[in-house]
Structure 1
């Protein structure tokens, strides 16, 4: 497939690029600073590196693609509107070029809490929600922009992210959140995003993913 990856210098974005290249896909990386893309991902299989600030280049990067994947997000607790703003830029480029399939990274607290979650998990969720209030508010607005768009979007919602190895062994709940889902490696988030590209049930849905 011909894929475009936004936020390719981020931890999840790098994994998406690495795994997509390993699977034989043609990848275009769109980043805020091309110099931050690791040298190991600048091989001949990488179709192009496009700066996110170049509107015409971004449109060209999504034109004719089979799917667009985004690892865009805030780098700290003070999110402001960064994820919403950058995702809207992606949506505008996709809609202008008639490209439909989009998968983005969100977070588990943006989705519905499992009705049968244990008390400890509910308490932890509430505490984290207070600490990362701005981040989750930004992601909620981002998901609202997705829902209002013409794209066939999927929002992948992991819990706490880790730097663990790729396992491919995790739970997914379309439209919900796995019970007691406490963590997921960034490598498995990327794996889930790639696996969901061709999943019809995930279109216009949030998908909870966790071990």
Structure 2
């Protein structure tokens, strides 16, 4: 497949690029600073662009089978960046009539998992309070994606870890795995790549966790 990856220098984005190349896909990695992308490959195109202009991004998404985005705030000071940048990406996709889009959000933005105990609910409440601005940004981003003409999937991981791919995680379409507290960035990338051709995830939020 021909794929475009936004947020390609982030923890999940780098893993999407790496794993997609390993699987034999052609990948366009959209970055502001190519020096921050350590991944190389014969089927990799590094597309340098400012994400503020959808017209510039059209060339990066034209003719692609799917677009995957790891765009989001790196900290509380960046709250607002997810919806702002994603709207630009959506404008480029719609202009080029590219349909398949997968984006990363966060577990607290989606529905609470069934069967969680008091401890899990308490922890989730504390985290949501501390990071409320980031989660508000992601909710706006999800709403923008849901209003778009794309065949979207929103992937919602819990706390992220730097771990190698295990491919041993749980997914729940329209919900979240009970007692799912962690997942590695590499496994989030693995899950997203696996969902590209999964019709059951189209126009759905998908919780993913160990």
TM over 0.5: same fold?
yes
Counterpart check, 1:184 vs 2:183: yes
Contact 2:16 2:190 in 1 (8 A): yes
Alignment partner, residue 129 of structure 1: 128
Contact 2:54 2:91 in 1 (8 A): no
Contact 2:54 2:89 in 1 (8 A): no
Q: For residue 119 of structure 1, report the CA deviation from its aligned partner.
A: 0.9
What is the count of residue pairs matched by the alignment? 209
- Superposed CA RMSD in Å reads 1.1
**Runs of 4+ in structure 1 over 3 Å off:** 52-57
Which shows bigger deviation, 49-58 or 149-158? 49-58
Identify unmatched segments of 5+ residues in structure 2. none
Partner of 2:140, secondary structure, is helix
Alignment partner, residue 200 of structure 2: 201
Alignment partner, residue 59 of structure 1: 58
Q: For residue 106 of structure 1, report the CA deviation from its aligned partner.
A: 0.4
Task: Output the CA distance in 2 between the equivalents of 1:50 and 1:159.
Answer: 30
Contact 1:171 1:209 in 2 (8 A): yes
Q: For residue 187 of structure 1, report the CA deviation from its aligned partner.
A: 0.2
Please list, as runs of the form range in 1=range in 2, the aligned pairs for 1:2-13 lying within 5 A after superposition. Answer: 2-13=2-13
Partner of 2:77, secondary structure, is coil
Q: TM-score, normalised by structure 2?
A: 0.96
State which of 22, 44, 47 in structure 2 corresponds to 1:49. 47
Alignment partner, residue 33 of structure 1: 33
Q: For residue 32 of structure 1, report the CA deviation from its aligned partner.
A: 2.4
Q: For residue 34 of structure 1, report the CA deviation from its aligned partner.
A: 2.2
Q: For residue 33 of structure 1, report the CA deviation from its aligned partner.
A: 2.0
Contact 2:62 2:98 in 1 (8 A): yes
Contact 1:50 1:61 in 2 (8 A): no
Alignment partner, residue 14 of structure 2: 14
